[in-house]
Structure 1
Amino acid sequence: MRVSRSLTIKQMAMVSAVAVVFIFIFIVVQLFHFVQQSRYDTASQMESIAHSVRLPLSEAILKADIPQAEAILNQIQPSGIISRADVVLPNQFQALRKSFIPERQIPMWIARLFELPVQISLPLYSLERPANPQPLAYLVLQADSWRMYKFIISTISTLLTTYLLLALILSVAISWSINRLIIHPLRKIARELDNLSPQDAEGHQLTLPPLHRDDEIGMLVRSYNRNQQLAFRQYQEMSLSGTRHAVSDLPNKALLLALLEQLVRNEKSSALIVVASETLSDAAGVLNEGLRETLLLTMVSKLKSVLPPSMVLAQLSGNDFGIIAHGTRDSWYAMALAKQVMAALNENMPINGLQIKPTASIGIAMFHGGLTAEQLYRRAVSAALSARRHGKNQIQFFDPEQMEQAQRRLTEEHDILSMLERQKLAIWLQPQVNMRTGETVSAEVLLRMQQPDGEWSLPEGLIERIEACGLIVTIGTWILEESCRTLAAWQKHGIAMPLSVNLSALQLLHEEMVPSLLEMLSRYRIQPGTLILEVTESRRIDDPDAAVSILRPLREAGVRIALDDFGMGYASLRHLHHMKALPIDALKIDKSFVDGLPEDGEMVSVIVSMAKTLGLKLVAEGVEQPEQRDWLLAKGVTIAQGYLFSKALPPEAFEARYLSSPLT
């Protein structure tokens, strides 16, 4: 027998592959270190240059002597590292710019990865500085990116050449050592076995290599000589046999424990569910072996029907089953799965004319690390025994606190769905007003819940509870449906007032959101431009390509897009270039910024300037004082909502007060 591929080649390929991986890691780490050091050195040099011209440049700026300022900036040119110098006033107006080196394009990914170009900003003050000085302007210096790009390419080339040569030397050295120490003895043993005739196989003894008496190869040879292949194979089968299992295609207890060992090594959060069937135990003395086998197969089929493909079902004994729920992090999900299993097992099963309704006790143990496979298994079995002591068809966690959390979570989910079914949830409308004319131009849809005393309000934490229960998509779809129904009723009477509806990140990313909303628009025949989606949770919109792919079809269908709570996350200036790519129509100024008006208006001024730059409409939230209204109007913001104009109203009250045409 000949090998198709030598072990020497495989182990050298493995050594080379591992070496290449570590080389890549070392190159990346060192490259970033060198580039960061170079950035620091460049910034230090530019700071020294900036300080050298700071005083004369401040004097020239103070005197508004532009030629003198240009002459001072020209002194920077001989340094060779600065490509551009700007003088920027505090209101972001660019007063002066000098370019020293023609800009040469570098790859975009290089610029983003290493944050090029390097820039510094130095404030310029009056020579006579008061107690609380304010800068006259800022001197902004930008380094030559092409110079840094050449440094990066040179560094990559040097590191790559050096480490690849080192990897080659180490691969050859390690491969030669392994080949002499392991491959040669194994090859000799393989040839001896290959040349062994069938007559000589029984009782054959391998020759023990002289240099391997005390290592693993020697142990392998001694084990073979003691047991031979047949005995070794029987030993394997006996060690894996475990307990008897009645269904041949299910893993047994031994294999389940082996899978749990793998789960523990990977430290992946999961749940182990043990199902103990009292019915199978009781049937042993009532049903014959054939009927009991039929009952067992029927129960296994029921269990498989409710388990996702990623989960493992095993038979632990003649009466008990184990389920590994891979990836289960939350106790409430494990409880929900156990209830599905219980419901499936409790269904009537016709067995040879008998109607049998099985019962079971279910125990759950959660794994989040810190346990062995045996400990996890014992916890689940202990929970199942505890469930049996509480009576038939009971479910118990090993940890009582997890039991309480799961029950509370499932109760909350049931309560929220029950409120929706009993019409205890409703949409209310808050007007959005043109502050110059006092005209109501649109409305925002807000969620309200009926309290025990009959009042309608939004309880604190309700939205968070809906998200935690995984119902935000369900409730959000219902709100969109109600909003489209309201719009359709208005438009039937010739009223084209727009409605704004909040859309969470979970809704935005849900695969059914876009087709479902497009279907609603078509079914209710919503006029283009009358439905506005207010996108929230900015951390999910950092990828402009993904956001565009989601929002573009909605824009093309006539849906307008607004960024809600602007200024609280993605409303940072560093996301300005992202926003340019997004198909949005309006920005909503967050209430927390409006609350500070008119005393603290810096952030609102920045947002107003940004909206004007991007050509976007502005809506101010939470306007409650006349002074806030007057300040916003002075800045050119005309559309607002808040208690100064009206609180949220039921749709009937809103229509009676603000719609020009009565609805019948």
Structure 2
Amino acid sequence: MNSIDAKLHRTDSPHASPLHRLARLAAWLTLFGVLALLGRALAAPEAGRLSPEVTALCLLGALALLFGLSEWLALRGAEPPAFALALVALPGLLYSGVSAAAWPMADHLPTAGLALVWADHLWPLLIAALAVPAGLWGLRTCRELRRQCREAEQINAALQEQVDQRTRSLLKEISARERLGANLTYAAQHDPLTGLPNRALFNELLVRAVADQEHGVRAPAVIVLDLDDFKTVNDTLGHTRGDQIIKALAERLEAALDYGDVLARQGGDEFFVLLADARDREVAAQAAQRLLDALQQELVVDGRRLYLAASIGVALSAGAGDSTDLIERADAALHQAKSRGRNRIEFFEPQLHHAMTQRVTLRSALAEAIGARQLEVHYQPRVDLDTGRMSSAEALVRWCRPDHGYVTPEVFVRVAEDAGLINALGQAVLTQVCEDLARWQAAGPIPAVSFNASAHQFRDDRLLHDVRAALAEHPALAHALEVELTERVLIEDPAEHRRMLTELVDMGLGIAIDDFGTGFSSFAYFLHFPVQTVKIDQSFVSRLPKDAAAARIVRSIIELGHNFSLRVVAEGIENERQRDQLRAWGCHEGQGYLFSEPLPAAEFEERWVATLR
């Protein structure tokens, strides 16, 4: 803006105009000439009469006053009024004319003929006639220049105001963007619930710590902490109270750390700790024990006393590679703590590296097997205990790794859950079941087949989506499908899961509670959920008929099923005595090796499905 202002004043100001500078010079020269002539006239003996010199003096004085008035008014930013010219120029013109008419020029100036005489008499008039338009033109020029200056000043003021407004707007916008950027950066690096650093920021800090170790500054260590069975607490008390518990535990854990150590939340009920300097095992062990002690203290939530536990894995930087390797080692130690009973601390040992490598390899192989449809679905019949005929079957997934043989479901299902592959695994099983049923249906009657659904498949309506997709391709199979779920699924989000189960029943599917009696068994399941079948866990059936306590539990479940008009299925029947006892108590169906082990689809069709035709 300053450059614009300077430019306007440099080009438009009358003080900088060449014309104005010429006018000022003429005015000052005229003034000096007038003073000289005035001194000469006063010195002459005829000074008292109206001589041509006095006439010229009056004319030049008028011109000097004219330019002086113009200069004075221009310096003060005013326009000369029109009557100023008349007051100054016209009296001089009139006086000059009268004097010229009575002046004998021959007495004062040499003449050279009539033309010169007339010129001598008329030159004051000509000068005055030229001076007056020149004065008027000068005044108009000054007036125009002043008008241009005022317009320039107005434009300058308007531009300056716009610049000021734009500057204020830009400053506000920059400030808002800086605040937004700071907020986004904070949100990207911190857990929204606890305000602790998240995994991204933790990794960044760990990379720096490992770099310091390479320079011999410090020796960091990583602790991974996972709450034991917190999901049950969260499902029982609700997610809101669960968040309150997480926040309270985060404060406890942070208070248990030394200055310079960093606590981060990975998500859910898992925390990471970066020990700034743990040069030996004892320092890390003490820090881990403080964390475990802090968690085991009583916690009161809405008047309820809670006692929590956690599994902790610790990895020292000695012998580790980069930051990723250090985290993987701590995670392997955490899995070791969980497998050894939980609520304990485990350090990474070299032999764990092999197990960790196997788990990573198994995860990749499982993902490849699901994508290549290398998983197999075996079927185990459910037999009517009264007739001995197959009434339905359960689909069980099996995985035979090339060059490795069969991997037990307990191993690869857990790997699928940890690796986020459980949804893809469940979809693959459902697709294969529908294809087998469709093929069998083309040859005759088919049994109803149940398939297991994990809690992960009930999140985000994933199970509903998979079932709709399967039935869109095989619409006639709806009444031949049954979903088996555990009691934990029912208590995780009762209202939402009740809605999903109701939609499945409306599609024609059946609902069965698997492993009943091993979880949070409640009559409320049968009141609020559309359940048709209850399955007695094999851990009770296997103790029959010798274990009296197990017999009472089994019998109670059967009576409960009768009271709620549910079909009762006993799992794990291995001998005839168990079968006979269950049949005597009124159990409807039995499943176990007494009748058949799980069979591949082709063999199951030949041995069992064919009996229905």
Coarse TM-score class (shorter-chain normalised): 0.3 to 0.5
Greater share of residues in helix: 2
Larger-Rg structure: 2
Compute the TM-score of the two structures, normalised by the length of structure 1.
0.42
Compute the TM-score of the two structures, normalised by the length of structure 2.
0.45
